[in-house]
Amino acid sequence: MIASVACLLAVVFGACCLLLAAFIGSLLYMVLLHHRLKPAGLARERALLATPLPPDAELPHVVVQIPSFNEGPVVRRGVEAAARLDWPRDRLHIQILDDSTDSTAEIARTVAAELRDQGFDVVALQRTDRSGYKGGALHEAMQQTPYDYFAIFDVDYVPPTDFLRRVMAVFQAEPKAAFVQARFDFLNPHENALTEMQMVTLDAHLGIEQATRWWAGHPLPFNGTCGIWQRAAVEAGGGWKGDTVTEDLDLTYRGWVKGWRAVFLTSVAVPGELPADTQTWLRQQQRWQDGFRHVSLRMFPVIVKSRDIGPAAKGAALLHLCMSLNQPVLLVGVVCGVLAGLLNPALIPALLTAFVVTVAWVIFCATTFLRAGHNFIRHGEMSPGRFAIVLLRFVGGQVAMVTRSLWVHIKKALAPPKPVVFDRTPKKGA
């Protein structure tokens, strides 16, 4: 009986290894696809950005939305950066979506009043009920204005003055685009090894994954900030919702199944602040992972049942959503492997071999993926030695993330169910 249980656990362990290899192998596929599509993709991006805008008197109204919750003085920097955007003043509208419960609320009101005295249309929309969190704030704010274009910036992002001129040009060429997403850049990438690791991983995500998804016609998730949505797409997707902590991914897929597509720009970058301490970063990653799984479970059956999505696009979407299973599969695999080895020590050599092969494959794919992103965005500016240190920090971060995830899920299993709570990422105003 014990031997049979051990064999069953070993089979589950092997299946988990294969799934992880397939999931991580998709990153290698993205690198290969990236290199094949890059020349045409970049040429298309240049053509879109070169699209002429109409005269200033005919430009559309744009609403800049800046969500804020207990951000402190950094809210002033974000709002003032929005006011510096190069766009006709009578067609630029700024909404501070402030749900703060501390002194940030007064800062938001003060900076809004100062800018109104200078002739800007700035309003601080302050809620006492945080229902829906960021998604709820975006939904309520959109109802307060009749305009059609919404530029969204998390409070710590500082858009360049020409952001609207460049990004709105894309809508002239692609009027049916749901949103146009710009690439993140960073205000503090070299603060420590953690911020350098985040720079490298986000460059790979944005430069390889996001750019390639657009070039290949795959579903392109909104990154939550540094992009412009048009109202028709938001409404077609059912509007912003606050029942998940990844409202950006949720709305993206709800709009995508209705036929709305998006554009990603690699050459338009908006700098923002990276978490510089491990605990803050781990909480952020946990929130993203939980939200990704929530949206995946919600959208998976919708995509499978859809008759309007072709097989190739459907496969790309399902593979993307399945990436949310990385941590659960890893956790199940580790537990089953350890138990199988304890119950039947004779299985240990085979289990170790499968584990080592899987880890080697994961390291190879992840290293190739991260290096490709760094070379594409930063042109390989980091020395090989420093890049190796960043990779070691990446491995340590993944181990810490999985360990924390296991502990969080154990606590959730033992505790009474709780409603979804948005855990903000603190900003220092770097």
Give the distance, in angstroms, between the CA of residue 278 and the centroid of all CA atoms in the same chain.
Answer: 19
User: Buried b / exposed e across 326-352, counting CB within 10 Å, b at 16+?
Assistant: bbebbbbbeebbebbbebbeebeeebe
* Residue 86 falls in the annotated catalytic set: no
Query: Residue 67 is encoded by which pair of tokens?
Result: 């969500």
Beta bridge partners of 62: 92, 149
The two beta strands, 261-272 and 177-186, are parallel
Look up residue 186 and give its amino acid.
F
* Residue 162 falls in the annotated catalytic set: no
Q: 284: closest CA among 195, 206, 344, 153?
A: 195
In a 10 Å sphere around its CB, with 0-12 CB exposed, 13-18 middle and 19+ buried, how is residue 401 labelled?
middle
CB atoms within 10 A of CB 198: 25
Q: Give the DSSP per-residue string, 365-411.
A: HHHHHHHHHHHHHHTT-S-HHHHHHHHHHHHHHHHHHHHHHHHHHHH
Q: How many angstroms separate the CA atoms of 226 and 181, rounded?
A: 6
Of 185, 248, 250, 290, which residue is the catalytic one? Answer: 248
3-state secondary structure of 413: helix
Of 99, 121, 154, 290, which residue is the catalytic one? Answer: 99
Beta bridge partners of 272: 186
Q: Which residues make Cβ contacts (< 8 Å) with residue 42, sequence separation at least 6?
A: 266
- In order of 33, 205, 328, 386, the CA distances from 372 in angstroms are 12, 10, 27, 16
Q: What residues are labeled active site?
A: 99, 248
